[in-house]
Amino acid sequence: MKTRFRRLALVLMIAFAVAVPVSAADAPPYWAYPVNPPGTQPVADDGKPRQVPGSAATFTLSQIRDLFAAPDWHPDDHPKTPDIVSIGRKPGVYACGYCHLPNGLGRPENSSLAGLPVDYIIQQVAEFKSGARKSSEPADLPVNFMITVAKAATDAEVRSAAEYFATLKPKPWIKVIEAAMVPKTRIIEIPEDLERTELRDARSPFIAYVPPGSIERGKALVTNGGDESTACGTCHGDDLRGLGSIPGLAGRSPSYLFRQLYDMQQGVRGGAQSALMRPVVSQLTLDDMIAISAYAAAQAP
């Protein structure tokens, strides 16, 4: 398993980098958008119970893949989950904790919700439901899942999930490392332990490899803004931990942060707050967005 993981990481590292500058005619950077490769099939369930370190729980692969029963390996790590987070509601409201994990920290393909303001989470679900928030990649599976859930969930279910995730304290989850093998125009985000991540272990974090110099460059952009951009701390706080209903950025997945900047620039992520962001991101290059994302992700949440 570990050998296969190393090979996968090497393939990712040498993959072709997307060119700049950004324009509406460009395809979205494929490395940032999770799309299931055609023809891939999950490993068949052999019925054997799986385990992860530090947990007495066991789950089969079929149980781990059940969108209506989020695997919770460490229930003592967080408050009691409401039903909407742990089991959802059939047929269309998947368990929120399946993708975002019971501790709210999520994975690079979706959002970390831990500690986000209640009203902000509710507003984002409303924008998925209305069509105001989409993805630059139409086949982006997590976004399509969110649109499905948003259209089927009740207001009470959305609020219950939002109030739960808002109570969770963010914690370090992603180690950001500058590495010379990383192409200038991309971020490589991988699990520290692929097998535990595939078992959806909420104690198994991630590593993000970013281009050399990107953190320092990101700091300058975040702190001072660009030629036609506003300093991020103006709205998100000097420490990037958020202000009022404005979400915190610190310590969140750099791949996720990059997607949001790109989607807002391309106009596919709408809504009131995104409209305020549009002029801020309009002149950013891919390199700028990578640098901002790398710096924000490297900060303590």
Q: How many CA atoms lie within 13 A of 68 on its CB side?
A: 5
33's CB contacts (< 8 A; 6+ apart) are 135, 136, 137, 140, 259
Residue 240 included in any domain: yes
Task: List the single range of 22-26, 49-53, 284-288 with lowest mean pLDDT.
Answer: 22-26
26 — pLDDT class (breaks 50, 70, 90): confident
Mean pLDDT of 143-160: 97
Residue 219 included in any domain: yes
25 — pLDDT class (breaks 50, 70, 90): low
Mean pLDDT of 16-38: 68
52 — pLDDT class (breaks 50, 70, 90): very high
- State the pairing for strand pair 174-178/188-191: unpaired
Q: What pLDDT score was predicted for residue 229?
A: 74
Dihedral of alpha carbons 264, 270, 276, 279, sign: positive
Q: What pLDDT score was predicted for residue 24?
A: 55
d(CA 283, CA 287): 11
Residue 22 included in any domain: no
Diameter of the chain measured on Cα atoms: 58
d(CA 254, CA 263): 14
d(CA 151, CA 138): 17
Residue 69 included in any domain: yes
Mean pLDDT of 49-53: 98
Which pair of tokens denotes residue 279? 């002029």
Residue 31 included in any domain: no
Residue 104 included in any domain: yes
d(CA 86, CA 103): 11
Count the domains in the chain.
Answer: 1
The average confidence (pLDDT) of the chain is 90
Which pair of tokens denotes residue 146? 């969110």
23 — pLDDT class (breaks 50, 70, 90): low
Which pair of tokens denotes residue 274? 């995104």
State yes or no: pLDDT of 8 exceeds 60. Answer: no
In this structure, how many other beta carbons lie within 10 angstroms of the beta carbon of residue 261?
Answer: 23
Q: What pLDDT score was predicted for residue 227?
A: 67
Q: What residues make up the domain containing 284?
A: 2-15+45-297
Mean pLDDT of 145-151: 97
Q: What pLDDT score was predicted for residue 22?
A: 57
Q: What is the CATH number of the domain that holds 217?
A: 1.10.760.10
pLDDT per position as a tens digit, 61-117: 999 999 999 999 999 999 999 999 999 999 999 999 999 999 999 999 999 999 999
12 — pLDDT class (breaks 50, 70, 90): very low
Residue 40 included in any domain: no
Whether omega for the bond prior to residue 91 falls within 30 degrees of 0, making it cis, is yes
Residue 36 included in any domain: no
What share of the chain has pLDDT > 70, as a percent?
91
State yes or no: pLDDT of 21 exceeds 50. Answer: no
- State the pairing for strand pair 206-210/188-191: antiparallel
Q: What pLDDT score was predicted for residue 14?
A: 30
d(CA 116, CA 109): 17
